[in-house]
Amino acid sequence: MSEKGRNNQCEREHESRELMVALRGGDLAALDRLIVLNDPILRAYAAKILTKAHEHLLDEVVSNVWLTVYRAPDRFDPGKKSVRAYLFGIAKRQARHLKAPPKSAARNPDLVGDADGEVFVSREEAPEEGAAAHEERDRVQAALEELTPEEREIARGLGEGKSYRSIADDIGKAHASVQKRRPRILDKIAGLFTKRTR
């Protein structure tokens, strides 16, 4: 990794830690920014740990990670690990849970959620709680899907720590255009998520 790449990764981690603190205080815009910064890396990791037979679970794994962060931001302990490692740990547990054959709720209390707020949903075995968790996860996913494909590419590039110029080259636009659109994309995500959670 280049020096510039390491610096971008360190800056992303520092900002992500600040956003986790803000999210603990109830700042939903912090969650939106956290998603923009980390969703591309999280998706790449989740895609890597899911086998071909389970790749259809990618969106569900990622959505459940963000739902878990939203529901229990206090679970993150900055003294123990990075935000990235925290997100990857949730993703790994989510993937393992979703790939496992169904178990009875009595034998597996994690089907609806654990004491720390992590989301493990099974609609069949806990219809009321499962439906509510799916609805909440769907709101988060829908807010992200409201972005245009180009806006998602810009958000993904920003989340990966790419420069404006590199993102512009990827999508065939001027780097000034990418730089101008960044605040609008973040505002759009924040507005969509906030609107959907009311």
What is the full per-residue pLDDT of the chain (198 aa) written as tens digits?
577 667 778 899 999 999 999 999 988 889 989 999 999 999 999 999 988 878 888 888 888 899 889 888 888 988 888 999 999 999 999 888 887 755 544 333 333 444 445 555 443 444 444 566 666 667 656 766 777 888 878 877 776 667 888 888 888 888 888 888 888 877 777 676 665 555
* Entry pTM: 0.56
Task: Please state, in angstroms and as integers, the Cα–Cα distance from residue 167 to each residue in 3, 32, 66, 112, 160, following that order.
Answer: 18, 20, 24, 39, 10
Residue (of 116, 185, 191) closest to 157 by Cα position = 185
* Side-chain half-sphere CA neighbours of 138 within 13 A: 7
Q: Could you give the CA distance from residue 23 to residue 4 in angstroms, rounded to a whole number?
A: 28
The tokens for 155 are 């958000």
